[in-house]
Structure 1
Amino acid sequence: MQCFCRLAGNPICHESEAQKLSYCQLPLQTPAYTTPLNNCSAQSCSSGQVSSPNCKCAYPYTGTLYSRALSFTTLNDTDYKELEQSLLKSFESQKLPVDSVSLSNPSRNASNNNFQLTLDVFPSQTDRFNRTGVSSVAFVLSNQIFKAPEFFSPYFFNGLNYQYYGGGEPKSKSKHTGAIIGAVVAVVVFLGLAFVIGMYALRQKRRAERSELNPFANWEQNPNSGAAPQLKGARWFSFEDLRKYTNNFSESNTIGSGGYGKVYQGVLPAGEVVAIKRAAQESMQGAVEFKTEIELLSRVHHKNLVSLVGFCFEKGEQMLVYEYVPNGTIMDSLTGKSGISMDWIRRLKVALGAARGLAYLHELANPPIIHRDIKSSNILLDSHLNAKVADFGLSKLLVDSERGHVTTQVKGTMGYLDPEYYMSQQLTEKSDVYSFGVVMLELVTAKRPIEQGKYIVREVMRVMDTSKDLYNLHSIVDPTIVSSTSPKGLEKFVEVAMRCVKEYASERPSMAEVVKEIENIIQLAGLNPSVESASTTESYEVPLGQNVKHLYDNEDFSHSGNFPTAKIEPQ
């Protein structure tokens, strides 16, 4: 299949020979949609439909491809064809219902100098995509599964809302007499109540302004700390207190840094060691959002969740004070950064602890809490290698438990993002389950979710064969856990992980069910699931408490919407 795009106006077409080429010629007229060059110019399509490169009228899934490494002067006809062919080849390799693709409207974004192209993806065997088709195409592009040609990388994709799921064209607005009468009545009622509503709105606005300036005003006051609030389980610290505990925020006390700011080790007067996260000015939340996060953190208490000790909101500063967790993240251990060796039993224990923490958020917190950013760099290990779930900056309360979901803006980290949540914007506990399933696969393979354009979930699906020894996973399992003997329960562990990453939320288990499954696997391995994580056959490669500087760097302890990789936002 071939796809074409018009380059008229591009500097490459200014050369005398190039001007003769068909794709350099301006169209007779400039429609709202630039139709790729093909032999379908006389074809008539219904309103909203577009003629594909294969002369089929359809409703394409449309978005914009941006390249951060491309300029007009480096483009040529071969580049365009290569980009189109690689796109189509990527969709075909994923067995997606795509008939053809079309690139058009090449331009350079004046604000950021990125080169951009309109991408239309046409469905096969029908004139429109279903929800699964659009979800799959968007997931391949937004999660970087598509490996773009080198000249176009790095890239990112911004998809438009698809309006044509199975119901035909969008319904036009009809002007009925009843609607007109209703509108008139509504206007009359509005005018009758305008004065009352206006006064109420003005009063609420003034209240909101006061709340934004002092969002803690309605909290119970601590008589020993002036205007500072008193929270159950969380203390208020003054700026001067934290400056003293961190030796004036000295470099020697810095244990990490990232997009959010810096993390300092501090020692409280009673001798308690804490991790103090100080937000950079450009990363600070609004005062109300900061208050909301503190309220959420102060209400969760579980041995597998990182505890909030306190906070500081003073002198233009936002700081959170956490319990100090000395052994870094799961990702640190899997990559060798922390110097801690992770045998199979330790990995099972870590998975169990993190699952228990999530199950607490989903089922015992009132109202339930959805974490929304579960990943291996947000699960920390304490001095006994017990897992502690961290980073509640994106968490949401499931206030309406009868609905079972929260409709909210899509946020998360590429590779861990639930595809159903990405498409529907309906967040549920099963979105956390999907992300946790990816973490389980990381524990088995010691690979990042996306490496060199390969997605860990699809890679496991590709090689997995339940009729063979170790489910035919020898090529993908971390060699350090199979070097001496076959790890007991690994096959069952992978089965649970693959259930967690099912495409549809209804097919995934709950976190309580995942906890039970992992407990059974640990018992299958001959151990008691209640035993602490550190009681394993292997020892630390470095003494506990040493070489922990920078274990909170970058990805390891980021929160409040700052990610090590690209954030997914809806349009």
Structure 2
Amino acid sequence: MGARLFLLLLFLTTSSAFTPQDNFLISCGSDSSSEVVYNRHFIGDSSDKGSSFLSQGKSSSLKNPNSSSNSAVIYSTARVLTSASSYNFNIKKLGTHLVRLHFSPFTSRNYDLKNGKFGVYANGISLLTIFSANVTVVKEFFVMVDRDELEILFTPDDDSDFAFVSAIEVFSAPKDFFIDSVGIALISPQEISEFKQNISNQVLETVHRVNVGGLLLTPFNDTLWRTWIPDENFLVIKSAAKVARTSDPPNYQQGGATREVAPDNVYMTAQQMNVYNGSLVNHFNITWDFPVSSEGAMHLVRLHFCDIVSVSLNMLYFNIYINGATAYKDVDLSVLAFRRLASPYYIDFVVKNMRGSGVVRISVGPSDLSNTMKKNAILNGVEIMRMVNYVPPSPPKSNNGGKWIVSGCVVGGVLMLSLAVVTFVAILRCKKRKQKPKTRRAESTGWPSLRVFGGGSSHATISQGTALASPGPYGYYGLKIPFSDLQLATDNFDKNLIVGSGGFGTVYKGVLKDDIKVAVKRGVPGSRQGLPEFQTEITVLSKIRHHHLVSLVGYCEEQSEMILVYEYMEKGPLRNHLYGSNSPPLSWKQRLEICIGAARGLHYLHTGSAQGVIHRDIKSTNILLDENCVAKVADFGLSKSGPCLDETHVSTGVKGSFGYLDPEYFRRQQLTDKSDVYSFGVVLFEVLCARPAVDPLLNREQVNLAEWAMEWHKKGMINEIIDPNLMGQIKPNSLKKFGKTAEKCLAEYGVDRPTMGDVLWNLEYAYQLQTNERPREEEQQATDGDGEAPVVVPLRREDIDGDRDYDGGSDISTSRVFSQLLTNEGR
């Protein structure tokens, strides 16, 4: 009964028709003024109205003598073109258009259409070459039309006397069907990088369109009149998957997939892991093999998802693999799909196949983030489109490198001689100044040559002497440290000196020769997997220095090692002082000072240079505390330069940590400094509530800290979920300001979030409210209508913007922590 009901719903569920601005439907060889196919009206090109589309050239109409009532009416006739001939369409709306060409060969008295061989062009771009059709076939293309006319040209091949076509569809694609501003991952046999070209400029030919877990969908069930086929024949191991389905329509959200991206029925069915008795003996993936061109072609792969298997948010984490590479790790549809179950979403990839490989292999499998007993992975739909006109980027031109070799050797020799002289003089001077304490390797003042990632195939190079900060209490920044020195500093990397570990490697406590304590972060020996993070960290930290940013002491890149050396932070990560360890609880005043310090570091990071730097991985484990509980932001391996002055964002693949990740950045892959603000908002609630950002062991409404805390804050009951160790410590006005600041950081859209400068301002105000020692009666009398005490320092009216909604003044003296309010320079 349930299956019958599902089938009934499947065929009755048809979406409201999409109405394209340009819409040309031509039945070729027909003289009918209207032929209805799938509720659409085709016009015969031999009719009075349709003849205007066919341009000059030799052609004739042909009727199928064996057509039956069961075949589509557009396949009962054909246009035979015996010379180069074209159809021309006047375009009203420039942009991406769908072009569908229908070919249904039959034999008449004069022609056997199976013998036709020809080429087809769209505004000069080749769509088909030496094409012939032995059976009825539909070729579909997405074409960018950038002028007010589209010409579809048919040219018979030299070995054939004619071309033919049964029907032509040309209509406007929906708006934003392909989004160029989003960085798309390029999966190639060598690496995973970012696809640098605009997708909309590519001519795309549909190769596969698959309704995973579902039945055949005809154009009746699709607003763009597409056909979706079942996935059964593509599954590698059928027993690894089982069908999931729902009778409820998808929960569409603005900014996600629409019915034009894929119809309801695609999102109402899926394949999921076929787990026996709710347990996994071994991890396994569901895998599909899709045959494609074997000539190393480029393909756009669009994967469709809709979580119809989970009963609550943040239950489903899985990985996506393409051709054996990890294309997307730890997918969380709760975050991607606007924190709604059964909300459709799609992800695009560009895939470059190896020559000789005639398959695109797509797999989904469980993530390590999943609950052990609830591991699962799903897929709802697959589209694969070949890039017809893809032109690979040109390799960088050599600048006559051969003739510069001799010059380079001469210049290099001169530089080496000069360096030797300078070094000798420096050593003599050091010997004369024995009364001064020695600085570790103070005679070394330059950078080694170090390649760092840049755009495209070019790489930036940090050359000798570039971007060096002046020596500080931790020696010269950017100093290359010998591996032997680090072995000595860490007792040959003694396991007893390990103080932490992360994605890059293991962190050891060490002491350099000059008795300076350092943290030594060692990548996996011999592995270059963390090379981008290693180079980024050196590049960023060599150019910046701030009291609330962890300082880079040096690095080591020898003997296949990648080691970063930082100032040692005695008290470790902030997280260890909030929960999960035996550290004594921090007071509310200490927590405010820590948040203010971290905010200052981030504010400097965002504004300290023309473009600024976006951290991309703000979390409580990346905020470290020194022996005085001074907070410093750490771990810049994922950092990115901010957008240029004429840009609003940086398009890049998503990086970060779950629970802290900006959902807008996750959806659109458009990075701004407001992504750091969102992550910092999560940290603020983490500080207040003393619990992890994500805790899958809690009830479903409590799993995600940001969502849970926001709900309590909106109810005006934030005091009910604070750390029990803070009970009775927090003044109501301070708590209110702190909660309001965190709430604003977690706004759904970046434009609605404050800058880090605004966040810092408000945190300092919350600190002032907490440390104000006036009698309670006086404090209550001084509060404004919002229940907040007025600012205790004079502010100019032009300073009061955003959340800086305070009036009045006071003669109460300000603390050093609150000093940033006093000067424009600090702001």
What is the TM-score normalised by the length of structure 2? 0.45
For residue 153 of structure 1, what is the amino acid of its counterpart?
K
TM-aligned CA deviation for residue 335 of structure 1: 0.6
2:240/2:286 contact within 8 Å kept? no
TM-aligned CA deviation for residue 345 of structure 1: 1.4
Aligned to 2:599: 355
Aligned to 2:210: 33
For residue 154 of structure 1, what is the amino acid of its counterpart?
K
2:212/2:269 contact within 8 Å kept? no
Residues of 2 paired with 1:4 and 1:342: CA distance? 57
Aligned to 1:252: 496
1:353/1:387 contact within 8 Å kept? yes
Q: 1:259 to 1:433 in 2, by over 3 A?
A: closer
Residues of 2 paired with 1:481 and 1:389: CA distance? 24
Aligned to 1:510: 755
1:34/1:105 contact within 8 Å kept? no
Aligned to 1:447: 691
- Whether 1:45 aligns to 2:222 is yes
2:733/2:770 contact within 8 Å kept? yes
TM-aligned CA deviation for residue 38 of structure 1: 7.8
Aligned to 2:709: 460
TM-aligned CA deviation for residue 338 of structure 1: 5.3
Cα shift readout 1:46-74 (whole Å, capped 9, x = no counterpart): 4365799xxxxxxxxx9xxxxxxxx9779
Residues of 2 paired with 1:270 and 1:41: CA distance? 75
- State the identity %: 32
Aligned to 1:153: 374
Alignment of 1:216-255 (within 5 A): 223=423, 228=448, 231-232=468-469, 233-255=477-499
TM-aligned CA deviation for residue 493 of structure 1: 0.9
Q: Which of 535, 539, 558 is the matching residue for 1:295? A: 539
Q: 1:145 to 1:446 in 2, by over 3 A?
A: farther
Q: Which of 107, 111, 114 is the matching residue for 2:285? A: 114
2:615/2:640 contact within 8 Å kept? yes
Residues of 2 paired with 1:442 and 1:308: CA distance? 27
Residues of 1 paired with 2:557 and 2:380: CA distance? 38
TM-aligned CA deviation for residue 461 of structure 1: 2.9
Q: 1:142 to 1:258 in 2, by over 3 A?
A: farther
Q: Which of 659, 662, 679 is the matching residue for 1:415? A: 659
Aligned to 2:727: 482
SS of aligned partner of 1:278: strand
1:36/1:102 contact within 8 Å kept? no
TM-aligned CA deviation for residue 146 of structure 1: 6.3
SS of aligned partner of 1:411: coil
Q: 1:72 to 1:50 in 2, by over 3 A?
A: closer
2:649/2:672 contact within 8 Å kept? yes
Cα shift readout 1:318-373 (whole Å, capped 9, x = no counterpart): 11110000111121111141513112111111111110000001112344111111
Q: Which of 311, 330, 344 is the matching residue for 2:555? A: 311
Q: Which of 394, 398, 420 is the matching residue for 1:200? A: 398
For residue 103 of structure 1, what is the amino acid of its counterpart?
T
SS of aligned partner of 2:599: helix
Question: Higher helix share goes to which structure?
Answer: 1
For residue 530 of structure 1, what is the amino acid of its counterpart?
R
Q: Which of 632, 652, 663 is the matching residue for 1:388? A: 632
Q: 1:480 to 1:449 in 2, by over 3 A?
A: same
1:262/1:277 contact within 8 Å kept? yes
Aligned to 2:174: none
TM-aligned CA deviation for residue 104 of structure 1: 3.4
- Whether 1:494 aligns to 2:739 is yes
What is the TM-score normalised by the length of structure 1? 0.62
TM-aligned CA deviation for residue 399 of structure 1: 5.7
Alignment of 1:330-369 (within 5 A): 330-337=574-581, 339-369=583-613
Aligned to 1:325: 569
1:107/1:116 contact within 8 Å kept? no
- Whether 1:104 aligns to 2:292 is no
Larger radius of gyration: 2
Cα shift readout 1:384-403 (whole Å, capped 9, x = no counterpart): 11111000000111261331
Residues of 2 paired with 1:159 and 1:303: CA distance? 50
1:145/1:455 contact within 8 Å kept? no
Residues of 2 paired with 1:160 and 1:42: CA distance? 16
Aligned to 1:14: none
Structure 1 unaligned spans of 5+: 6-30, 53-61, 63-70, 124-135, 164-169, 176-182, 211-216, 533-571
Q: 1:150 to 1:257 in 2, by over 3 A?
A: closer
Residues of 2 paired with 1:157 and 1:493: CA distance? 40
Please say which of residues 322-331 and 292-301 is displaced more in the overlay. 292-301
For residue 685 of structure 2, what is the amino acid of its counterpart?
L
For residue 745 of structure 2, what is the amino acid of its counterpart?
C
TM-aligned CA deviation for residue 504 of structure 1: 1.0
1:300/1:365 contact within 8 Å kept? no
1:373/1:413 contact within 8 Å kept? yes
TM-aligned CA deviation for residue 436 of structure 1: 0.6
Aligned to 1:398: 642
TM-aligned CA deviation for residue 269 of structure 1: 2.2
Residues of 2 paired with 1:35 and 1:277: CA distance? 45
| Cα root mean square deviation, aligned | 5.0
Higher relative contact order (CA 8 A, sep 6+): 1
1:91/1:137 contact within 8 Å kept? no
Question: Higher strand share goes to which structure?
Answer: 2
Q: 1:198 to 1:36 in 2, by over 3 A?
A: closer
1:4/1:38 contact within 8 Å kept? no
